[in-house]
Structure 1
Amino acid sequence: MHQQPVDRHFYLDDSGAHDQGIWLYAWMGVPALDEACFFDEIDTFRAGLLAEYGIPVEFELHATKFLTGHGRPGGKELAARYRKHIAQHMLDLLDAQPDLSVGAVFAQRPLRHRRLMDEAFAGTLRRINAQLEAAREYGRLVIDGDGTNPLYQAAFDEVRPARITGFKFVPAHESQPVQFADLIAYTAFQWLVRAPKRAFMHHWYPAHLAKAHGPERV
């Protein structure tokens, strides 16, 4: 069987609160031809964090931990204002990429956790597939995780997105792009739920990701 060339890689991560009946997947779609240059920009960004804040390149920028003050990058405390500035810089870096796509899809219903995730992921597959169809492109997914959750293959088999050639799993701590996708997911989630303790970032999704799709409810 002929394997279609991949025009765009989509880096995905999720965020949500099953006790509130809401789950969300967010993505950034990187054109394959621009990927090397984009990765170089991420490397430059991380080198800047090391020089200015002493944050090692291998330190995982996990949004829910980083923005809540957890972790001591480089063995040192990092003030909340710097953490917020760094996260906003990350979002601005994405928005500055002319051909990079960003979006989020969520499910909000009183369902069991697995079913809620399934609906959100299936909706994400349909949205990404529609984007690829409109652009006459093919894409491949890179999902945060270790590949042990059967939900993803089951949803993929159910939706059968013709423009998505497949997917693979990469843990966020091993992938800088997935860490960016994690921040998109957390930003979109906070835009939706408006948690009082995260009021500082309620406006981030529309303010820093002007090109972003959604968050779209399924």
Structure 2
Amino acid sequence: MINSTRLFYVDDSGAESTGYVVYSWVECDTTQWRAGALALADLRAHLHAKYQIPVSAELHATQFISGRGNPSQNPGVNLSKAARHAAAEDALSALGRAPGLQVGTVFRRTLARRRAYAVERDVVYAELVECLDKRMRMAGGLAIILMDGDGTATGYYGAHRRLSMQSRQVIEDPLFVPAHRSAFVQAADFAAWTAYQSLLRHGGKEFAWHWYEKYLGDRDVNGGPVEL
């Protein structure tokens, strides 16, 4: 008997140069999707009112927080790292309070580089899928994984197709959705970037070291990032 179906919006972070592979996700039961969507819509209305960032603007954490591009209609916001950081904290705070939404993160630090790093990234994703599949099997539920992209990142398909058809709880291949069309995917991107910064502790980004724990820690299904 199927008790529930959960949506998992997954995005990655990390870098070959640091050896980190990070996957974070925002999840909700399908019965809670509307409440979560409304909360994210309220967030975008807030960002527009306070920072003049259009509701339609795609927010990519790496670019937004580092000061790239012109996401706001207010040049002062675009030129101010302090304003961008404040907006990012508002976004994370809203995500951490959104009804029905939870987050999670898995990671690995590897010495692999170049092609071997890409392979390792696919391996970590496969282990994540296995973990979610096992979790949903124990809960008696189904899972749908949604990711940023257009479907050309074929390395993700194998992780799904290796699951046993006799027992798998993860439905189909990952469903790819362009980030600019999904507030949930953009939220997963912010979660992944923030988780990465909490692990990396880069000297130039001390301001973000504790954002994950502060804003998302209570909503993390595992209590914090899990090393695979």
TM-score (norm 2): 0.87
Q: Please say if residues 40 and 95 of structure 2, whose CA atoms lie closer than 8 Å, have aligned partners that are also in contact.
A: no
Aligned to 2:211: 204
Counterpart CA distance in 1 for 2:200 and 2:101 is: 26
143-152 or 154-163: bigger deviation: 154-163
1:76 aligns with 2:75: yes
Q: Please say if residues 31 and 99 of structure 1, whose CA atoms lie closer than 8 Å, have aligned partners that are also in contact.
A: yes
Percent identical among aligned pairs is 33
Gaps of 5+ in 1: none
1:148 aligns with 2:152: yes
The CA RMSD over aligned residues, in Å, is 1.9
- Cα deviation for residue 37 of structure 1 reads 1.9
1:121 aligns with 2:121: no
61-70 or 89-98: bigger deviation: 89-98
Aligned to 1:67: 65
Aligned AA (1:13):
D
Counterpart CA distance in 1 for 2:13 and 2:46 is: 27
Aligned AA (2:75):
K
Counterpart CA distance in 2 for 1:13 and 1:126 is: 16
Gaps of 5+ in 2: none
Counterpart CA distance in 2 for 1:198 and 1:131 is: 34
Aligned to 2:90: 89
Q: Please say if residues 145 and 171 of structure 1, whose CA atoms lie closer than 8 Å, have aligned partners that are also in contact.
A: yes
TM-score (norm 1): 0.91
Aligned to 1:102: 103
Tell me how many residue pairs correspond in the alignment: 215
Counterpart CA distance in 1 for 2:125 and 2:45 is: 33
Aligned structure 1 segments of 4 or more residues deviating by more than 4 angstroms: none
Counterpart CA distance in 1 for 2:58 and 2:168 is: 34
1:19 aligns with 2:20: no
User: Equivalent residue of 1:164, what SS?
Assistant: coil
1:16-66 deviations in Å (ceiling 9; x for gaps): 111222211100111111111211121121112112221111111110011
Q: Please say if residues 67 and 84 of structure 1, whose CA atoms lie closer than 8 Å, have aligned partners that are also in contact.
A: yes
Q: Please say if residues 145 and 169 of structure 1, whose CA atoms lie closer than 8 Å, have aligned partners that are also in contact.
A: yes
Aligned to 2:134: 130
